[in-house]
Amino acid sequence: MKKIAFYGKGGIGKSTTAANVSAAFSRMGRRVCQIGCDPKNDSTRLLLGRIAPSTILDLEREKKGAGLTLDDLVHEGWNGVRCIEAGGPDPGVGCAGRGIIVSLERLKALHAFDDLDVVLYDVLGDVVCGGFAVPIREGYAAEIYIVSSGELMSLYAANNIAKGVQRFAARGAVKLGGIIGNGRDVLREQELLAAFADRIGTQLIAYIPRSRSVHEAEIHRQTLIAYAPESEQAQHYVALAQAIDTNEMLTVPTPMEFEELEELVERYGN
């Protein structure tokens, strides 16, 4: 079973990328489950065509764990992709990371992963909270992919995530599988992302150019794989899923100092 997690700066396009990759894997005949680890409950929206009607934490609060089954927690999405949302507290109330811990423990107890080919965790933001590090720390995910653009703060977040992977790699089998470039039309962006990946000891596994078609599909609450499967942009997601499927370049990263990162961005920006 492929156990992968997507990390990256908030707003960089992790959920859109994750949903399209999940859809692409399902078209390859794989049994796929996408788990949204974000209190916003929107990771699986494009697969379900709506916000998930309930989250694990919703049901835990309602039933206090009593009598919960896997069918209660799983929502079937496009082409049979299983969709699960961890959920979390309202903004400003409680710890969102704690919700991830509770949710993944519940899924493990219910043997949610026993009959799957691919499990994809879509994880909120940077690795600064212990809860968000759970997929890495507890071995739920074995391959980490960092979604980043060529913008400085996106790369800064990617570098911080690489630090987290480096720290937890010493304890288990988790490794960094690569950087997924999500285009923002930054000058020489693909070259910059490739240079950054090389410097921290990994690869630019894919570069997805900016496209209006992604936005059009999102308006229709669909992945591009479902909305325009033959489009050139959809093929970038298909290629990414195929690259992840066959990826053998799994490494322990060597993060950069911030000053070195700034110099790299400046060099490619001039």
Catalytic residue among 2, 9, 38, 122: 9
Read off the pLDDT of each residue in 74-81 and give the average, rounded to a whole number.
Answer: 97
Active site residue 108: no
Residue spans per domain, the chain: 2-269
Instruction: Pick the range with the lowest mean pLDDT from 12-16, 123-127, 190-194.
Output: 123-127
Catalytic residue among 3, 14, 38, 122: 14
Catalytic residue among 3, 38, 122, 126: 126
Tokens representing 158 are 């990617």
| pLDDT score of 65 | 58
| pLDDT score of 62 | 84
Count of CA atoms in the C-beta half-sphere (13 A) of 74: 18
| pLDDT score of 248 | 95
| pLDDT score of 44 | 97
Where does the pLDDT of residue 93 fall: very low under 50, low under 70, confident under 90, or very high at 90 and above?
Answer: low
CA 127 to the chain's CA centroid: 13
Query: Residue 229: pLDDT above 80?
Result: yes
* Burial zone of 170 (CB within 10 Å; 0-12 exposed, 13-18 middle, 19+ buried): exposed
3-class state of residue 66 by DSSP = coil
Instruction: Pick the range with the lowest mean pLDDT from 21-25, 86-90, 103-107, 235-239.
Output: 86-90
Calpha distance 159→202 (Å, rounded) = 12
User: Cβ contacts of residue 23 below 8 Å, gap of 6+?
Assistant: 47, 78, 79, 81, 223, 225, 226, 237
Q: Which residue has the higher pLDDT, 37 or 137?
A: 37
Read off the pLDDT of each residue in 47-60 and give the average, rounded to a whole number.
Answer: 93
Calpha distance 141→133 (Å, rounded) = 10
| pLDDT score of 14 | 95
β-strands 82-85, 75-76: how paired? antiparallel
Active site residue 9: yes
Active site residue 114: no
Of 50, 55, 58, which Cα lies nearest the Cα of 35?
55
Read off the pLDDT of each residue in 128-153 and give the average, rounded to a whole number.
Answer: 86
Where does the pLDDT of residue 10 fall: very low under 50, low under 70, confident under 90, or very high at 90 and above?
Answer: confident
User: Cβ contacts of residue 178 below 8 Å, gap of 6+?
Assistant: 145, 146, 197, 202, 203, 204, 205, 206, 243, 247, 249
Active site residue 126: yes
| pLDDT score of 264 | 97
Residue owning tokens 């496209």: 211
| pLDDT score of 129 | 67
Give phi and psi for 177, each to the nearest 5.
-90, -20
Q: Which residue has the higher pLDDT, 90 or 216?
A: 216
Assigned fold of 2-269: Rossmann fold (3.40.50)
**Model confidence, pTM:** 0.94
Catalytic residue among 40, 42, 117, 245: 40
Mean pLDDT of the chain: 92
Q: Which residue has the higher pLDDT, 203 or 92?
A: 203
Instruction: Pick the range with the lowest mean pLDDT from 19-33, 124-138, 187-201, 225-239.
Output: 124-138
3-class state of residue 112 by DSSP = coil
Q: Which residue has the higher pLDDT, 173 or 123?
A: 123
